[in-house]
Structure 1
């Protein structure tokens, strides 16, 4: 889906403290940064929740989502990326931005999620934008639910290929929004515990 990738190998931050900054990204196989239009819609959805939020980016790729969240004053981001070149570029981009409230984890997101939290601080916003057609979306959602990664009322963003129709939504996840953009479907859920 090369039309979603900027030809120059850059990602642009839309708003916040780093508004309009362009940062380099590696041209890696399967990397398809969330388009500006989709990101703009997503962050309109998150506008009242992003400041001060703890963010988990499960399949960071270019880092477009977590960098946008940090630009809009999220308090912390844990950024997971399997491909070591992309993870290295993410660390460099955070240094360029002089951002010290984020950690880049180079490795398999599913293995990380299986470990569970090593402290008692869960996450308020989670981005799940896995490589398409690899069967990762449902497994990721299940691991987030099973291993207590989510704070109460956490928001979960899920971006998948539009032809993925079998979505296994965990208990206590309520769908708030859903939109389509070309070959992409994106949804926003909230983790709501029963009263």
Structure 2
């Protein structure tokens, strides 16, 4: 079980994905994220969502709507169950698709994008390169990755802030205007 760290669902427990390969954004990092942004009434996209814990943390703190994307059937079932546990089924869209394909096909604007792809497989760099089109111009992109991962930020994105939490790095990015 995971615990929501802040907001109206603080202390509520949600299920984890029944897969040992799934890694979760720590409570410390989620609390830090919430302190960095005013998520009130924001449209949020969580890529490589796993259990959905980060998106649910955003909803707990006032986000209007969260779209969860994951390629794993186990993750999708877990997110659906967690949305029911928290009573937020009407505030979420749950999409079973590879995050790279989702970004290539997406036409909807999001205020905040949070992505926590599997570490050290290059998927993060692939995802970053898919934020080049106009639809992402006003989005804040939060990229969680391992400090051991070689990250190449595309030239159309700039780092607004970088935070380190042990072996985890959060890159806060936006389009260069």
| TM-score under structure 1 length normalisation | 0.84
- The answer to whether the aligner puts 1:24 opposite 2:11 as a matched pair is no
Structure 1 residue ranges without an equivalent (≥5): 1-9
3-state SS, counterpart of residue 8 of structure 2: coil
Residue 184 of structure 1: aligned partner: 168
Distance apart, 1:170 and its partner CA:
4.1
Matching residue within 116, 120, 126 for 1:133: 120
- Matches of 2:41 and 2:22 in 1, distance apart? 28
> Does the Cα contact within 8 Å between 1:55 and 1:125 map onto a contact in 2?
yes
TM normalised by structure 2 equals 0.92
Determine whether 1:113 maps to 2:103: yes
Do residues 123 (structure 1) and 100 (structure 2) align? no
Counting only pairs closer than 5 Å after superposition, residues 131-170 of structure 1 correspond to structure 2 as 131-146=118-133, 148-150=134-136, 152=138, 154-170=139-155
Is the deviation greater in 34-43 or in 24-33? 24-33
Gaps of 5+ in 2: none
Check whether the contact 2:43–2:111 (CA below 8 A) recurs between aligned residues.
yes
RMSD: 1.6
Residue 98 of structure 1: CA displacement?
1.5
Deviations 1:90-118 (A, max 9, x none): 0111112111111111121111111131x
Return closer, same or farther for 1:98/1:166 CA change in 2, 3 Å cut-off. closer
Q: Which runs of 4+ in 1 moved over 4 A?
A: none
Map Cα deviations across residues 148-175 of structure 1 (whole Å, 9 max, x no partner): 44252x211111110123322341x331
Cα distance in 2 for residues equivalent to 1:54 and 1:156 = 12
- Pairing 1:85–2:85 present: no
* Matches of 2:130 and 2:151, distance apart in 1: 17
